[in-house]
Amino acid sequence: MRIGIALVCIYTGIAVLSFFWTPYDPLSPGVGDGYDPPSSTFLLGTDRLGSDMVSRLMAGARYDLGITVIAVSIALSAGTTIGVIAGYFGGVLDTVVLRLVEVFQAFPGLLFAMLVVQAVGPGIVNVILVLSFVGIPDYLRLARAEIHARRDWQYAEAARMVGNRPWRVAFRHLLPNSAGPLLAFTSINAAFVALITASLGFLGLGLSPNTPEWGSMIARGQDGVMTGQWWVSFFPGLAILGLTGAFYLLGDALSDLTDPRRR
């Protein structure tokens, strides 16, 4: 539980640090000879073009972590807001929103992201928007179900009874009760988004080719795996594994924090 918080902090720290300092320039090829094995000069070796792996991994943190965090934040706030409104007020709006969401959810997340990125064109902003769009339906459904179930509970009635406006009851009184499930889901979703980000990079979609994104770094190291230069693909893979794991562990911690009974 604490490990999750610690890991996410470490990743964030590395991402921030990479703006100010990396051992070598992560973008320039030829700082080494190409496929240098891990050594005291290049701690994790160099890739095919001779770029330093440590520098590229550090710079990669800001892409993978940054894209994930921003995309998840957008999906969480937009999805939850629409979900709360649909769940609390119900009626035609609720029905229309749910049917729309079902249409989107008929596509697998990764496939949908691939298609849309191809359609709207590359660029980091597009990637972020597409990834958040893929996440919105899940948050929407979860928030909607939570609020719908609590709408007629007695403390909601009690809140209305002292003269609170409906939106205040929905967002200030009911939504905090759903913080646990929503945050727990957010972490699972963050892990999923991190994986899709890396998958898009691996497939060469969205970001420009030399971007030190972990997924595209794995792709660049593929040939090396066959000929013994395992480090080029292995370390970015490890970084992705660590980040996904960190998000899962963080979710447990967050859902405990939001429940007064378990604090």
Rounded least distance, CB 147 to other proteins, Å: 14
Residue 164 binds to other proteins (criterion: CB under 8 A): yes
Residue 227 binds to other proteins (criterion: CB under 8 A): no
CA gap 17, 20 in Å, rounded: 5
Is residue 52 classed as helix, strand or coil in its secondary structure? Answer: strand
Residue 126 binds to other proteins (criterion: CB under 8 A): no
CA gap 250, 244 in Å, rounded: 10
Residue 165 binds to other proteins (criterion: CB under 8 A): yes
CB-nearer residue toward other proteins: 177 or 199 = 177
Rounded least distance, CB 146 to other proteins, Å: 12
Helix (H), strand (E) at residue 12: helix 2-20
Rounded least distance, CB 88 to other proteins, Å: 14
Distances (CA, A) of 145 to 172, 204, 206, 252: 17, 37, 34, 21
CA gap 198, 233 in Å, rounded: 12
Residue 58 structure tokens: 């550090």
CB-nearer residue toward other proteins: 107 or 171 = 171
Residue 244 structure tokens: 């996904």
Q: Contact, 240 vs 214, CB < 8 A?
A: yes
CB-nearer residue toward other proteins: 48 or 160 = 160
User: CA Rg, the chain, in Å?
Assistant: 22
CA gap 199, 235 in Å, rounded: 16
Residue 1 binds to other proteins (criterion: CB under 8 A): no
Residue 167 binds to other proteins (criterion: CB under 8 A): no
Q: Contact, 172 vs 102, CB < 8 A?
A: no
CB-nearer residue toward other proteins: 105 or 164 = 164
**Of these, 27, 100, 158, 238, which contacts other proteins (CB under 8 A)?**
158
CB-nearer residue toward other proteins: 169 or 217 = 169
**Of these, 71, 116, 159, 196, which contacts other proteins (CB under 8 A)?**
159
- Through-space distance between the first and last CA atoms of the chain, rounded to whole angstroms: 13
Rounded least distance, CB 239 to other proteins, Å: 36
Block residue for tokens 């911690």: 253
Rounded least distance, CB 80 to other proteins, Å: 16
Supply the DSSP symbol for 263.
Answer: -
Rounded least distance, CB 249 to other proteins, Å: 23
**Window 135-154: contact mask with other proteins (x via CB under 8 A):** ------------------xx
Site for other proteins in 63-102 (CB under 8 A): none
Listed ranges 23-31, 134-142, 227-235, 253-261: which one lies at the site for other proteins (CB under 8 A): 253-261
Left (φ > 0), alpha (ψ -120 to 50) or beta: where does 37 sit? beta
- Could you list the residues that contact other proteins (CB under 8 A)? 153-155, 157-165, 173, 176-177, 179, 258-261
